[in-house]
Amino acid sequence: ATIKYIDQAGGETVLAVPAGTSVMQAAINNGLPGIVGECGGSAMCATCHVYVDEHDIHKFEPPGAPEREMLECTSAPLRETSRLGCQLAVREGDMITVRLPESQQ
């Protein structure tokens, strides 16, 4: 699967990752700034906030209750396409684009 991250300045990073990897974990593994992932992926910190591209948002299951609750705590403004990166596991063949918020903390 492929994940493209677009930062606030418009800089793009494309990562090829194995299926099952989360948008947060892929960023951490590759030292990508802009995603913190403080809680390690348990939907407890909201420092992995991303805006999923509107064309890709349907590729993921809708957020569960713990994620919806945590999304209320993001540092950057919440949008309709806001998700916690740690709850977004990519599937084989997926090509996903996410935008990074201006801040995570």
Stretch that binds ligand FES, among 9-17, 40-48, 54-62, 92-100 (CB under 6 A): 40-48
Residue 97 C-beta: closest distance to ligand FES, Å: 19
Q: Which is nearer to ligand FES, 89 or 93 (CB)?
A: 89
Q: Are 68 and 18 in contact (CB under 8 A)?
A: no
Q: Are 105 and 47 in contact (CB under 8 A)?
A: yes
Q: What is the DSSP letter of 22?
A: B
Distance separating alpha carbons of residues 65 and 9, to the nearest angstrom:
32
Strand, coil or helix: what is 2?
Answer: strand
Stretch that binds ligand FES, among 8-16, 45-53, 55-63, 94-102 (CB under 6 A): 45-53
Residue 84 interacts with ligand FES (CB under 6 A)?
A: yes
Strand, coil or helix: what is 86?
Answer: helix
Match 């809708």 to its residue by tokens.
62
Residue 98 interacts with ligand FES (CB under 6 A)?
A: no
Residue 45 interacts with ligand FES (CB under 6 A)?
A: yes
| Interacting residue ranges for ligand FES, rule: CB under 6 A | 24, 37-39, 41, 43-48, 70, 84, 86
